Amino acid sequence: MFNIKGFIKTSLVDWDGKITSVIFLPSCNFRCPFCHNKELVLNPNEFENISIEEIDSFLLENKDFVDGVVITGGEPTLHKNLPELCKHFKEMGLLVKVDTNGSNPEMLKHLIDQKLIDYVAMDIKAPLSNVKKYCNSTGLEEVNIENIKKSIDILRKSDIDFEFRTTVVPTLHTAEDIAEISRFVGRESKLILQNFTPRNTLNNEFTRIKPYEREELKRMAEIVKGYVKDIKVRG
- Residue range 191-205: average pLDDT? 95
CA distances from 203 to 137, 193, 200, 217 (A): 11, 21, 8, 23
Does the pLDDT of residue 188 top 80, yes or no? yes
Please, is 47 exposed, middle or buried when counting C-beta atoms within 10 Å of its C-beta (0-12, 13-18, 19+)?
middle
- Residue range 176-198: average pLDDT? 95
Cα 205 from chain centroid (whole Å):
23
Does the pLDDT of residue 149 top 80, yes or no? yes
Please, is 25 exposed, middle or buried when counting C-beta atoms within 10 Å of its C-beta (0-12, 13-18, 19+)?
buried
* Predicted structure pTM score: 0.96
Q: Largest Cα–Cα distance of the chain, in whole Å?
A: 48
pLDDT, tens digit, 9 for 90 and up, residues 32-86: 999 989 999 999 989 999 999 999 999 999 999 999 999 999 999 999 999 999 9
pLDDT, tens digit, 9 for 90 and up, residues 203-225: 999 999 999 999 999 999 999 99
Q: What mean pLDDT value characterizes the chain? A: 96
pLDDT class for 1, splitting at 50, 70, 90?
Answer: confident
Strand intervals (E) in 5-83: 6-11, 20-24, 68-72
pLDDT, tens digit, 9 for 90 and up, residues 158-170: 999 999 999 999 9
Domains of the chain: 6-165 (3.20.20.70)
Q: What is the pLDDT of residue 235?
A: 79
Which amino acid is it at 14?
D
| Closest by Cα among 155, 84, 150, 152 to 119 | 155
Q: What is the DSSP letter of 79?
A: -
